Chain A
């Protein structure tokens, strides 16, 4: 049985939303940075467990905290929201609270997952741990990921799939 679920990515520019979507859908990574303009949709079918298969419809949008980047139409009908931040970019970590603020009130039914991206660039995991602890109550799942190496990407989506 195959169900389609809309997932929206949100986060600051350059955190790796598009790379995350590309790694998940195409299992590919492009080192060159190309800013996303507008909206793009990635599709991938994933088997969650026996018999249950989900067609992930991942919506990617330009990053940023201004209103252009967070229009209501983008989020409408989303089953889950994936927040992405860059562990090497402190501003993007702080921005998570901002994005939580925008969506919690309007889309309370959507499941929330936090991806702490670019984990391949980090040696010391203590900041990651404290960040995870701080945000644990606001999210259904938190994962450290690397779109570059692929670390935890499939795991993150699979886990999300179990609660969709």
Chain B
């Protein structure tokens, strides 16, 4: 199973790495993940993208998560692939817009190590086949 994270914050990426390492025993053998630092790089490789799930931060340096979501779901090949958003805040308009564009989940970014491990496990148990 391959996951993609679009996350520009170095610290948050570090925590994801450490958390994945921690929950590794509970994940399938062929589990892997990749990071993108910004939306542009991710969207550039869209036509060749192979993955089971995309999790994007709402606040990226070059665009916001909703724009990426929109382009992702416009792609015929990828539109059924789960696309999740991580956000540091919960604004009604943003949440409604995200779901209207086809987001699968809108998640408050987990705070801390334990919370990150739990959230990743939750996502995994929901989307792993």
Contacts and interface: CB of A to CB of B under 8 A. Distances in A.
Interface of A: 6, 34-35, 37-41, 43, 57, 62, 66-68, 71, 73-74, 76
A86 B50 CA distance: 41
15 contacts: A35-B122, A35-B126, A37-B84, A37-B107, A37-B119, A38-B106, A38-B108, A39-B95, A39-B108, A40-B95, A62-B122, A67-B111, A68-B118, A73-B89, A73-B90
Nearest to A34: B126
B47 interface: no
B107 to A, nearest CB: 3
Contacts, number: 52
B63 interface: no
Helix, strand, loop or mixed for chain A's interface?
mixed
What's the interface size class on B, roughly? 20 to 34
Contact of B90 (A34, A35, A39, A68): A39
B95 A67 contact: no
Contacts of B85: 38
A110 to B, nearest CB: 16
A41 B92 CA distance: 8
Given A35-B126, A57-B92, A40 B115 contact: no
B123 interface: yes
Contacts of A34: 126
A57 B84 CA distance: 21
A147 B105 CA distance: 22
Given A39-B90, A40-B106, A71-B90, 16 more contacts: A35-B125, A37-B105, A37-B107, A37-B123, A37-B126, A38-B105, A38-B106, A38-B107, A39-B95, A40-B95, A41-B95, A41-B99, A43-B96, A68-B111, A73-B90, A76-B90
Nearest to B115: A68
